[in-house]
Each structure stands twice: as C-alpha cells, then as structure tokens.
Amino acid sequence: MSVIRAVPLLDLKAQYGPMREEIKAKVDEVLESQRFILGPEVEAFEKEMAAYCGTQHAVGVSSGSDAILVALMALGVGPGDEVVTTPFTFFATGGCIVRLGAVPVFVDIEPETWNIDPGLIEQAFTKKTKAVLPVHLYGQCVEMDPILEAAASRGIPVVEDAAQAVGAVYRGRRAGSMGSAGCFSFFPSKNLGGFGDGGLVVTNDSDLAEKISLLRVHGAPSGYLHNVVGGNFRLDSLQAAVLRIKLKYLDSWTDGRRRNAEDYRKRFDEAGLAGRKVFLPVERQERHIYNQFVVRVRDRDRLSRHLHERSIGHAVYYPLPLHLQSCFAGLGYGEGDFPKSEAAAREVLALPVFAELEREQRAAVVDAVRTFYGGV
C-alpha cells in the first residue's frame, strides 16, 4: 500500500522561504521611502524587464489584463474594429477586446500545442481588422513567423498575450518582443508572480511606449491637463520591488520547471501511459517555460475526481472556450464553430510543475494517474 501525501498544484510558500529575508529588507526600504505609486523601483524594474525580454521599452501597469487593454487602446482599437485571437485562452484576452467596443474574431487552435493556428489567421482578416492577439498558452510561444508576416503585409499590428510566457523563446526571440507590443501578468501564479496584481507591456516602438505611459496616468503628461482619456493603470512600488528580486531567480525557476517536465515524461513513459492514456505536452519551440504542465486525457472529469480524492493538485485551464461564454453570446458563435478548442476544453488537465516540486511529489502525481488508468 502506498501512502500518498497531498501535492499542491502550486506551492508559493516553498518559493518564498529562501527569499524571505531579502524580500523583507526590500519591502522595509520601500516602506521607509513612503513612495508607493510608480517611482524609482518601477523605473528600475521596467529597465530590467526590457533587458530580459530584449526590447527597448517596458511600461509597468496594474495587471496583465490592463496590459492588454492599454496596448490595444494605444493602438487605437475601438468600437467596430476587429481583433483576431484564439477562443482557447484566459478570459482577459477576449474580454479586453470587448471592453473597447471591438469585436473578437476567433480562429481555432492547433491540437498539439493548443496555440492559435497560424494557418487560419490570414483568412480571418477583413478591412476592419485592427490587430492580431496571439496567446503563448501555458508557456510555449505561438508559431509567430507566419502570423507576423501575414499581419505585416497588411500593416496590422500584432500584440502578444505573453501573460503565461515570460522568458519563453521562439527562434531566438523572447516572448513579448516579436510583435508591436507584448503583455505580461505578474498575478501570483504566473512564473514571475508578485504579491498582488501587476502587469507590464514591452515594445520596441517609442511612440507606442509613450502612449501607453500616458494612458496609464489618465492621459495627463503631468498635473491635471488631460490629452486623452486613459485610466489608472499604474504599477506600484512594492510590487516592482518584490518583482525585481524575483526576476533574479526566474531563470533558475524555469530550469526547475523544465526539469520537472522532463522527469514527468520519463515517469509517464515508464508507467506505460505516455502516448496511450496520457498525451504529454509537445515542445515545438526553443524554450517552453511550463507555466503549466498540461496533459491531454480521456475521461478528464473522472480523472479529476480521482486526483481530488487523493489530494493531488490539478486544474482545468480552461473548461469553456471564449466563443461559448454566455457573456459573448451576442457575438453569434455557437457550439461546433471551433472544434479543436472545444475538444481541448474537454481533455486538458494541468499537473503540478512548480520549481520546488520534489521527486516524491512527482512520483505521487504519476502514481495517482496510473491507479486511475490501471497502467503497468
């Protein structure tokens, strides 16, 4: 009889432990300065993130959702415009488009990577297309070159939703650095997670960076004279200070996630499940950062209950594609419109992959899946 102990999907306490003193000292420094909004910590973090992503500019904002919103605003996306994107993503991707009065035009995904199918993008373009918004899902970059090419030939900007892909690499380029703008989230469960909400936009376009900086502070360059209507999209100093410390460890955490993914491959293979009952994530691009380790399985919901009973952390990202969300019913999409996204929503399951995950925990995860399918 094997005794299985609980395995969390994510253990942020394990990450915090070794950094505790360093972070407390830094937080104390910010408290003593009593400078909380933007300020030197945010500016320093922006420089470091621009360098990390290989872009000229970075603008810290209030969340990943606001990063997408403000990037689209800066590109002039508004009522009646169309933005081409994937229906298999976190809600914010589509929500930001609709909040601006624009229309998300969904195209289906590739079944192996769950990323938007680049071959379907061009036929989705119309005269109203104002932007393309690919999402680097689970930490692996979209096949970007055909998208960048198709968009460039029509002068359509590409905005990358890189919320799950900080540090991911596609043909030598970092996630976020390939399009007109790249959007990041520092929600605590992302690979670079703050102690609250936060986000960032990177770009090589100086005009766009300036516009985003302006929109971030209600469109007022200084004082109370407002050139455009923006919002409060500011990143705060405490978040930036914490994120600056965490950024130093990001690549070692990514290496840990990648090692865990490798170990899962070995274990699922040895259990006789890989490619038979459990379809492992396909690595297409240079550097998958495994924000999530997602497998494709049959009987997903029953397996989920089985794992739940054994206290094995797991999650379904995402159980309902955007085109079937009730709040988007007005867009006129229906069941069957994007069969690959709909199949993914039925079959995907995320397993724990965080850097601090221990050997026995990985073994317990695979063992719990094995007892469900009755593998070797």
Ligand X SMILES: *Cc1c(COP(=O)(O)O)cnc(C)c1O
* Listed ranges 36-44, 76-84, 161-169, 359-367: which one lies at the site for ligand X (CB under 6 A): 161-169
User: Site mask, ligand X, residues 113-152, x = CB under 6 A?
Assistant: ----------------------x-----------------
Per CB under 6 A, 161 contacts ligand X:
yes
Cis check for the bond before 170: say yes or no (omega within 30 of 0).
no
- Residue 175 is a binding residue for ligand X (CB under 6 A): no
Nearest distance from C-beta of residue 186 to ligand X, angstroms: 7
Binding window for ligand X (CB under 6 A); candidates: 25-33, 157-165, 174-182, 265-273: 157-165
Which residue stretches of the chain are H helix? 12-16, 20-33, 40-53, 64-74, 91-99, 145-152, 206-216, 237-270, 300-309, 339-347, 359-373
Q: 353 is written with which tokens?
A: 């992959």
Helical segments of 84-218, H only: 91-99, 145-152, 206-216
**Distance of alpha carbon 164 from its chain centroid, rounded?**
2
Nearest alpha-carbon partner for 216 in 12, 41, 74, 9: 74
Which backbone phi and psi does 207 adopt, to 5 degrees? -60, -45
In whole angstroms, give the CA distance from residue 253 to residue 243: 14
The mark string for 71-100 relative to ligand X (x by CB under 6 A, - otherwise) is: ------------------xx-xx-------
Interaction between residue 197 and ligand X (CB under 6 A): yes
Q: Which is nearer to ligand X, 163 or 168 (CB)?
A: 163
- Kindly state the smallest distance separating residue 69's Cβ from ligand X, in Å: 9
Q: Is 63 in the site for ligand X (CB under 6 A)?
A: yes
Contacts of 195 (CB under 8 A, 6+ apart): 188, 238, 239, 242
CB-wise, 75 or 274, nearer to ligand X? Answer: 75
Angle at 349 between CA 324 and CA 91, to 5 degrees: 35
Q: Does 163 bind ligand X (CB under 6 A)?
A: yes
| Site for ligand X contains 187 (CB under 6 A) | yes
Contact 175, 51 (CB under 8 A): no
90 or 264, CB closer to ligand X?
A: 90
Question: Do residues 182 and 70 make contact, with C-beta atoms less than 8 angstroms apart?
Answer: no
> Nearer Cβ to ligand X, position 82 or 161?
161
Residue 236 binds ligand X, judged by CB under 6 A: no
Find the shortest distance in angstroms from Cβ 350 to ligand X.
12
Question: Looking at beta carbons, which residue is closest to ligand X?
Answer: 64
The residue count for binding ligand X (CB under 6 A) is: 15
Closest CA to 324 of 341, 299, 301, 300: 341
Residues 6+ apart with CB under 8 A from 51: none
83 vs 274, which CB is nearer to ligand X?
83
By CB under 6 A, residue 65 contacts ligand X: yes
Residue 164 interacts with ligand X (CB under 6 A): yes or no: yes
User: Which residues are near ligand X by CB under 6 A?
Assistant: 63-65, 89-90, 92-93, 135, 161, 163-164, 185, 187, 197, 199
